[in-house]
Amino acid sequence: MPAVIRIEGLTKRFGDVIALDAVSLDVAENEFLALLGPSGCGKTTLLRAIAGLETPDAGQILIDAVNQNGRAPYQRPVNMMFQSYALFPHMTVADNVAFGLRQDGLKGAALTDRVREALARVEMEALGTRKPQQLSGGQKQRVALARCLAKRPRALLLDEPLAALDKHLRERTQLELMTLREKLGIAFIVVTHDQDEAMGMATRVAVMDRGRILQTGAPRDLYDRPLNRAVAGFFGHMNIWDGAVTGTDSVACAAGTVRVADPLPREGAMVAVAVRPEQITLRGPENDVGSNQITGVIAEVVYGGTVSTYFVRHGEHRLRVVRQNGAGAAFRRGDTVTASWPAAAVRVLAP
């Protein structure tokens, strides 16, 4: 799939702060890419740089193989939906949508047709004469979306599109965005700080921290095979122990000897091993000391409907275990249990 947007070594500083640190990234024609990271990680700066609203200090952005350096926002074939929606308060909904088209010189029937088409796409054609302040949050978002789509951009940039919506609307909008992108067949780049949002919507996720891209991949790959602690911590929870390699397939750490199926560095190297909470099984206490298992006391049980989260105290550590409710015997706080996990479930992270 050809890259519609190619970012090469993009660097941006704000005073002493490095917002983007030599970021390189390809965005394919037809993908839903999420830029995921904590606030201040540079994800919004990257999005704004693609739109041309930030001037990079180094590196370049190519859209359809055309270098965009030195091109103003109004010259770029991408459009951005802003977090605040940024609707023009002194214009009606229809005029908001028409604004971008008028800049392209569209007039008369061609203009009204395109406006109607864009508003119909987000089911807002009935409210064209309203002013933005007469709309609800969800409606404002639809207008902002229609305003971008009317321009038929090569890629749509969305800055925290769901952040201002309540939980119910968020799920619906998420599904709608996914359907919309499939219908339009253009690239969507969405900035979010919410991992669930990123995993749910995107076909590919780029995890960012402190101006760098830590890892990119399909949501499942990032969840199953995080490369480092930051990615592991950002996608759900992981039980992580620091340790040293003791053999071709074993690591010694606070959880005893952990057998690992993944390749390990040479003996004596410092690594971290990590296990997802749902990969761990609990059973009654056993005395034999094997590998990939620990025995401890349940310190806390957090009930969550379909699943419950158990915290098993083991020395200094609190092991997090997620268990399907109604599968097997229920454990209570204070129970002594043995937790175990298969070698295949263990991930090796940089220390």
Partner 1 sequence: MRRIPWLGLALAAGLAFLYVPLAAVIVYSFNASRLVTVWTGFSTAWYGELLNDRQIMAAANTSLVVGVLSATLAVIVGAAAGYCLARFGAFRARWLFATATIAPLVVPEVITGLSLLLLFVAAESAVPFLPGRGLATIVIAHASFSMATVALIVRARLAGMDREIEDAASDLGARPFTVFFRITLPMMAPALAAGWLLAFVLSLDDVVIASFVAGPQSTTLPMVIYSSIRLGVSPKINALAALLVAATALLLGCAALAGRNRLSGRR
* Sites of contact with partner 1 (CB under 8 A): 48, 51-53, 72-74, 79-80, 82-84, 86-90, 99-100, 103-104, 133, 147-148, 151
Q: How far is the CB of 345 from partner 1 (least distance, A)?
A: 44
Q: How far is the CB of 56 from partner 1 (least distance, A)?
A: 16
Q: Which is nearer to partner 1, 93 or 319 (CB)?
A: 93
Q: Which is nearer to partner 1, 97 or 273 (CB)?
A: 97
Q: How far is the CB of 132 from partner 1 (least distance, A)?
A: 8
Q: How far is the CB of 20 from partner 1 (least distance, A)?
A: 18
Q: Which is nearer to partner 1, 20 or 51 (CB)?
A: 51
Q: How many CB atoms lie within 10 A of CB 72?
A: 10
Rounded CA gap, 215 and 205, in Å? 8
145 Cβ neighbours under 8 A, 6+ residues apart: 81, 122, 161, 180
| Residue of 297, 296, 320 lying closest to 308 (CA atoms) | 320
Rounded CA gap, 212 and 40, in Å? 11
Q: Which is nearer to partner 1, 47 or 205 (CB)?
A: 47
Q: Which is nearer to partner 1, 79 or 293 (CB)?
A: 79
Rounded CA gap, 174 and 144, in Å? 15
Q: Which is nearer to partner 1, 55 or 325 (CB)?
A: 55
Q: Which residues pair with 321 in a beta bridge?
A: 310
Q: How far is the CB of 91 from partner 1 (least distance, A)?
A: 8
DSSP string, 268-313: T-EEEEEE-GGG-EEES---S--TTEEEEEEEEEEEETTEEEEEEE
CA 307 to chain centre: 23
Q: How far is the CB of 82 from partner 1 (least distance, A)?
A: 4
